[in-house]
Amino acid sequence: MSGSHKMWCCQVFILVLFAHTILAELHVSAASAGISFDGPSPAQSPDALAPTAKPRRRMYAMCPPQFQRVGTDCYSLVEQRSSWLEAHFFCKDKNANLTEPGKHADRKLRQFLQKQDALSGERDPIWLGATYDHHNNKWQWSMSGRNLSFNAFSQKDPTNPQDNNCAIYDPSLKYRWSARPCSDKLRFICQHKMPKVSGPNRYKIYNRWNATYPNEQANEVVLEIIDPHDNDRRYHRRVKAEGSDEEMIIPARRRNNNNRRNKQQRNPQRNRQNQNQHPNDVNYQPAQQRKRPRPSTVAPPVASSAANPSNDVLSPAPTPQQMTQYDRKLQRQRERERRRQQRKRERQALVRQQRREKQRRQREEQQRLQREEQQRLQREEQQRMLREEQQRRQAEQLAQDAPKSQEVDELRQRSSEDKGNTKEEQEKKLKEEKEKRRQEEQHQEEEARKQQHHQQHLKEQEQQLRELKAKQQRDQQDRDYQQQLRNRELEVLKQHQAEAERQRAADEEAEKLRQERIQKQRELEAKERQKLEEERRKQREEQEAQDRLNDAKRQAEEQRQREEYEKHRQQAKTDRERQLAEAREAKRREELELQETLERQEKERQEQIRREQEEEEKRQELKRLEETRIFEEKELKRLHEENQKREELQRQREREIAQREALEKKLAEEEARLAKEVSAEEREVKRRLEEDIRHAEDARLAKEALERAAEEAKAAEQKRRLETAKKLADEEVQAKLEKKRQDYANRISALSPEDQKKFIEMRKRRKQLKEQKERENREKKLKRIQHAMRLNDDE
C-alpha cells in the first residue's frame, strides 16, 4: 500500500469520526429539550414526551454485623455475663462503646429491650455506659467523660451510688435506670454510630469495617431524602426509611476550608471533639491517609434491619496491616493499662513484703523485751531470796544474842525495888547496858560483814563454775557440730561412691544388654541372609528347570517345524514352491536365532543385574559391618574412658575418704586430749573449790565453836549472877515473909478470942468465895467451849 493511499484512508476515518461526534451532540441536546429523534418508546405513551420529575436521591443507613438499628444508632445486646470493665473493653474491641442514650433514644431503646427480653425470657439487668464520679459526686458517661444531662433513674430505686457506682437497665423497674457494683457479672449493650452514606460511599464503610468484621454482611436500610435542600450542605437533611414512615435527620457537614487548622488551634474544645470522633463515622478524617485496602466484603442487597443472633462470638484480632489508627490507639491504651496494673501489683507486693518485714521486726522486738523482762524478774527474785536469807540469819543471830529470861528482869527489878537502888547505881547500870548493847551491835555488824564477804566469795565461785560449765558446753557443741559436718561429708562421699557403684553396675548391665542385642541382631541377620540365599537358590533351580523345559519345548517345536518343512518340500511340485519354502524356512530360522539371541541377552542381563545386586548387597553389608565396627570401637573407647574417669573419681573419693578419716582420727585424738585437759582442769578447779569450801566451813565451825563457848561462858556467868541474885532475892523474900508472918501472928495473938474466931470464919468464907468464883469461871469457860463447838457443827 502506497503512502498516498494511507493518507486518504486516515482522512476518511477522521471525517467519519467527526460526523458521529456531531450526531451525538445533536441527540444529547434534543434529549435535554424533551425531543426524541426515534419517536416515542414502546414503554411510554405519546404524552410522556414532556420532561419527567427527577427521582429522589437515596442514601444508606448502615449497621455493622451483629448490630441492629434502633432509632438513629446501632445497638448490640450481648448475652455474655461480664463485669462493667470487661463489657467496656468488649465494646471497644468492636469499635463501639457501652450505650450512652439520650432522652428520645432511651425511650426507643427501652422498647427494644422489652421486645428482646420478651422473646428470650431473660430478666437480668443490662450494663450502661454511665459511672459515678466520686470526686465530683456526679454521674458521667465513660466514653466522652461528660456529665449526664439526662438520666432515667427510677424514683423507686433505693440504691446508693457510693456503693453501686455503675448504671444498669433494670427490667424489674420497667427498664428504668438503676445502679450496681461494677464487679457484678451482667449482660450489656454496645452502641455503634450509624453512618448514613450514599451508594458509592458504602464501600468506604465496608473497607473500614473489614478489619473488625472480616467477610461479614452488614445490616443496611435504604433512606429516601425528602428535604428539598438536598444539595445544600448548609441545611440538615430529612430522610425516611424505605418501607416505613419513620423519619431521620442527617446533620449538615462542616465546610473544609483552609483555615480549619487555625480554627482548631483557636478552639481547643472543637479540637477535642474531633479527637473524640469515632473512626466508624463517615466524616472521620484520619491524621495520615493510608492506602485503601481492597474490599473483601461484598455489599449485600438492600434489606431491612434483620437481627443477627450471633452476638456472643468475639471477632478475630486484626493483623497489623488491618489495624486502623483507632485500633492502634486502643492497643496503646490497653498496653498502658496493663503496665499500670503491673506496677500496681508490684507496689502491692512491695507493701506486703514491707508489712511482713515490719511485723517480723516487731515480733523479734517483743520476744527480746520478754526475754529481758524474764531475766530481770529472775534477777530480782534471786536478790529477794538473798535478802530474805540474810534477814533470816540476822534474826537468828539476834535471837541467839538477845537475853531470853524475863525472870532475870523481874528479879532484877524486884531486887532493885526491894533494895531501893540509888540514882547513881541506876545510871551506872544504864551505862553498862549501853556499852554492852554497843559491843553487841558492833559484834553483829562484824558478823554480818563476814557473812556477806563469805556469801560474795561463794557467789564468785558459783559464777566461775557456771562460766566453766558454759565454756565446756560451747566446746562440746562446737565439737558436736564439727562431728556432724564430718559425718555429713562422709555420708555425701559414701552416697557418691554408692551412686558411682550403681552407675557402674547400670553401665555394665547396659553393655551386657547391648552385646546381647548385637548378638541377636547378628543372628537375625545371619538367618535372614541364609533365608535369602535359600530363596535365591530355589529361584535359580526353578529358573534352570524352566530353562530346560523351554529348551525342550523349543527343540520339539524345531523338530516339528523341520518335519513340516521336509514334508512340504517333498510335497512341492515346482522349484518355485521349493524356493519359497526354503526362503520361509530361512526366515523362520533367522527369527529363531534372533529370538534365541534376545533370550540369551536377556538372561545375561538378568544375570548381570543379579550379580550387581548381590555385589551391592555385599557392599552394603560390608559398609554396615564397618559402620557397626566403628560404632562399637567408639562405644568401647567411650566406655573405656568413662571407666577410667570413674575409676579415677573412685580413687580420688577413696583418697578423700582416707584423708577425712585421718583428719577425723586426728580431731578425735585432739578432742580426747582437750577433754582430758578440761577434765583435769575441772577436777583441779573442783578440788580448789572444795578446799576453799572446806576451809571456809572449818573457819565457820571454829568461829561458831568460839562463839558458842563465849555464849556458854556468858550464859554461865549470867546464870551464876542470876542464881546469886535469885538467892539474895529469895533470902530477902523469906525474911520479909517471915517478918510479915511474925507481924501477922502478933496481930492475931493481940486479938480477943471472939475476934480470932471471926477472923478465922472470915478467912474460911473468903476461901469458899474464891473457890466458888473459880468454879463459876470454869463453868463459864466450859459453856463457851460447848457453844463454839455447836457453832462449828452448824457451819
Q: Residue 416: its pLDDT value, please?
A: 55
Residue predicted with more confidence, 667 or 161: 667
Amino acid in position 451: Q
Q: Please check whether residue 179 is in contact with residue 167, taking contact to mean a CB–CB distance below 8 angstroms.
A: yes
How far, in Å, are 8, 469, 470, 678 from residue 684 at the CA level? Answer: 151, 14, 17, 10
pTM given for the model: 0.31
How far, in Å, are 86, 287, 320, 333, 704 from residue 327 at the CA level? Answer: 17, 14, 9, 10, 108
Residue 3 has pLDDT above 70, yes or no: no
Q: Residue 440: its pLDDT value, please?
A: 79
687-707: average pLDDT:
83
Nearest to 188 by CA among 85, 114, 261, 310: 85
Residue 480 has pLDDT above 50, yes or no: yes
Tens digit of pLDDT for each residue in 214-232? 777 777 777 777 765 545 5
287-301: average pLDDT:
43
Strand-pair category, 97-98 with 58-63: unpaired
Q: Please check whether residue 94 is in contact with residue 74, taking contact to mean a CB–CB distance below 8 angstroms.
A: no
Q: Residue 425: its pLDDT value, please?
A: 67
Q: Residue 296: its pLDDT value, please?
A: 41
pLDDT band at residue 200 using 50, 70 and 90 as cut-offs: confident
484-508: average pLDDT:
81
Residue 198 has pLDDT above 60, yes or no: yes
Phi, psi of 75 (to 5 degrees): -130, 150
- DSSP one-letter code for 315: P
Stretch among 233-242, 523-532, 734-743 having the lowest mean pLDDT: 233-242
pLDDT band at residue 251 using 50, 70 and 90 as cut-offs: low
Cell of 320: 497489623
pLDDT band at residue 169 using 50, 70 and 90 as cut-offs: very high
Residues 421 and 406: their CA atoms lie apart, in Å, by 20
Q: Residue 157: its pLDDT value, please?
A: 66
Stretch among 5-19, 121-135, 688-702 having the lowest mean pLDDT: 5-19
Q: Residue 422: its pLDDT value, please?
A: 55
Q: Residue 411: its pLDDT value, please?
A: 52
pLDDT band at residue 236 using 50, 70 and 90 as cut-offs: low
Does residue 137 sit in helix, strand or coil? coil
- DSSP one-letter code for 51: P
Residue 479 has pLDDT above 70, yes or no: yes
Mean pLDDT of the chain: 76
Tens digit of pLDDT for each residue in 595-648? 888 888 888 888 888 888 888 888 888 888 888 888 888 888 888 888 888 888
Give the range with max mean pLDDT: 8-17, 176-185, 238-247. Answer: 176-185
Superfamily of domain 58-255+265-283+293-313: Mannose-Binding Protein A, subunit A (3.10.100.10)
pLDDT band at residue 399 using 50, 70 and 90 as cut-offs: low
168-176: average pLDDT:
90
Q: Residue 42: its pLDDT value, please?
A: 39
Residue 53 has pLDDT above 70, yes or no: no
Residue 191 has pLDDT above 90, yes or no: yes
Q: Residue 278: its pLDDT value, please?
A: 45
pLDDT band at residue 244 using 50, 70 and 90 as cut-offs: low
| pLDDT over 90, % of the chain | 8
Q: Residue 279: its pLDDT value, please?
A: 44
pLDDT band at residue 74 using 50, 70 and 90 as cut-offs: very high
Residue predicted with more confidence, 373 or 272: 373
Q: Residue 125: its pLDDT value, please?
A: 93
Domain ranges of the chain: 58-255+265-283+293-313, 752-794
Does residue 143 sit in helix, strand or coil? coil
Tens digit of pLDDT for each residue in 745-760? 787 777 788 888 888 8
Give the range with max mean pLDDT: 372-386, 462-476, 744-758. Answer: 372-386
- DSSP one-letter code for 786: H
Q: Residue 698: its pLDDT value, please?
A: 84
Q: Residue 129: its pLDDT value, please?
A: 92
Residue 428 has pLDDT above 50, yes or no: yes
pLDDT band at residue 37 using 50, 70 and 90 as cut-offs: very low
Q: Residue 592: its pLDDT value, please?
A: 82
Nearest to 630 by CA among 667, 429, 638: 638
95-121: average pLDDT:
90
